Amino acid sequence: MKRTRLLSRLWEFQNKYGYIPDNAISEIAQKLRVSKIEIEGVISFYHFFYRKPTGKYIVYLNNSIISEFNGFKDIKAAFEKETGCTFNSYDNNPLFSLFETSCIGLSDQEPAALINFYPFTHLTSEKVKSIIEKLRNYETLESISNNPTCKIQYTPTEEKTIFFRNYSIGNSLKKIKPNNQNKLLANIEKAKLEGRGGAFFSTAAKWNACKASKSTKKYIICNADEGEPGTFKDKALLNNYPGLIIEGMIIAAFITGAKTGFIYLRAEYKYLLKKLENTINEFTEKGFLGKNILGIDAFNFKIKIELGAGAYVCGAETALIESLEGFRGEPRIRKYFPTENGYLGHSTVVNNVETFAMASRIIELGPNFINTIGTKQSKGTKIISIAGDVAKPGIYEIEWGTSIQQLLHLSQATAPHYIQISGPSGECINNSEFHRKICEEDLICGGSIMVFNKFRSIIQILENFTKFFKIESCGACTPCRAGNQILYEKILKIKRGICTSKDLEEIKQWGKIMQYSSRCGLGQYAANTLMMAVDKFNDYFNLKVETCTDNCNVEFDMQNAVYDYDLIINTQANNLQ
């Protein structure tokens, strides 16, 4: 299907011209046999494609809440001052264009920005001035950008470390032998591996469904579109252990019979693209990818990398598949699982980066080793990214069952008050819940923890989160499209001091509507944190709202306010007549 090349073709023109001109759309439409209107629709869906000319250097400044609390406004002002441009507008400046963007996976090194997708971290006004001067003097982005290392702050004792232990290419693949698919699958099941992207669906069940499928073609997709604000755990694996991920994909291919795999890499991690390509080449040279892998007849598997273009909703597996197929990344109506009808209508396995890496370690180390670590229901370890008001932000590999209190101690949190678990779509907890443990039996965590001390504005946090969902909603379903806008307006009312207890009830009502009727996880979980915060921080909100009766109306009524004035003016006018 030619249309599957659409995303990569759009990137070719975006990279070449800084935008996608009319003639490019005409050329793509003719070669891929896709209408120009459809191509326009795809372009408009993604943040990083432009239809108007941009400068040579496109700056993407992260506006996440961690960035806000670490000097975002000052850095934004510095970029505008030094470039003479305005954020989120087209200034016809041949050198620079400035845009805000959501989390870029550098929450432990804020404020941070990408310039033509080269990372710049720990920004200050002085550093911004220096960067712009160097670019004006023709220094290359590659030479002046940062190489953001993943700060692995903590791992368990050696006998309990799973992910960040010594790695040698092919260790898990050596366990692959002809006709032992069932044994490998049984080991995955015995280790109770569940999807680490947040859904926590049984990996063995998913792979077995694909294995049993009669589909003529099968595909393995690694979801590396880690877009949840505050999350950067998958980046640590992509950067430090890319081979571990690829081995997990190869094992999945061997079990299911898939011949083709994709790594869907978020554009914000484009600086890791070359490393991934080099790793794939190394695997191919060693006979771990290609034809007759490991000398096993007909065991053929290849991996392609597809670059996303900036759409949080593509983290949903069906939206990701739509994007790979060359369509807008809108989630499909849940009629079939991807293992039944996935990429191009064929059986497809979609798992995230951490899941594939864990699968590789399970096969390498054995399920018995994994099952000695963790809790009764959650086996092994979990990778957590911690950011915010902590002295040691970064990556933590923890044993399942570790408490929030232990994590706050390890990360050296300062006066923790509000903790956000699993990003804005997760849940918030207050200081009465710090005893809770990260595991399936208690507090499920997809991988992100943001810590905010008692001096941070809870309303500012919630406003940032809600604005993020409002912008990232694909707009395909009304509950999400309208619900996020309504919730955002409610937060603005709280900020203006005109919110009532009735508004807080309406927040919960709209949240329930979104949970029950949105077509994908974005809408279903977007209101979670706001609804929880109203209850868990009720003392805070009680100070922000007026107690309301049925006749209460504290909003400003323009018509009522000008009634007397209009009456006088109209009376005078009538007298003059």
Rounded Cα–Cα distance for residues 59 and 98 (Å): 5
DSSP label at residue 107? G
Asked if residues 17 and 10 have their Cβ atoms less than 8 Å apart, the reply is no
What is the DSSP track for 416-455? EEEEEESSTTSEEE-GGGTT-BBSTTSB---SEEEEEETT
Q: pLDDT for 251-276, tens place per residue?
A: 999 999 999 999 999 999 999 999 99
Sign of the alpha-carbon dihedral angle for 100, 105, 110, 114: negative
* Average pLDDT value for the chain: 93
Provide the residue type at 503 as one letter: D
335 CB contacts (<8 Å, ≥6 apart)? 341
> 529 near 420, Cβ under 8 Å?
yes
Tokens of 218: 């099968």
Residue 572 pLDDT more than 80? Answer: no
Measured between alpha carbons, how far is 275 from 252 in angstroms, rounded to an integer? 22
8 Å CB contact between 13 and 5: no
CA atoms within 13 A on the CB side of 427: 13
| Residue 550 pLDDT class (50, 70, 90 cuts) | very low
pLDDT tens readout for residues 206-249 = 999 999 999 999 999 999 999 999 999 999 999 999 999 999 99
Q: Model-level pTM?
A: 0.93
pLDDT bin (cut points 50, 70, 90) of residue 149 is confident
Question: How far apart, in whole angstroms, are the C-alpha atoms of residue 280 and residue 465?
Answer: 36
Mean pLDDT score, 3-28:
96
Considering only CA atoms, which of 149, 73, 153 is closest in space to residue 390? Answer: 153
pLDDT at 569 > cutoff 80: no
Give me the DSSP letters along 478-517: HHHHHHHHHHHHHHHHHHHT--BHHHHHHHHHHHHHHHHH
Contact (Cβ atoms closer than 8 angstroms) between residue 114 and residue 120: yes
Contact between 175 and 184 under an 8 Å Cβ cutoff? The reply is yes
Q: Residue 318: its pLDDT value, please? A: 95
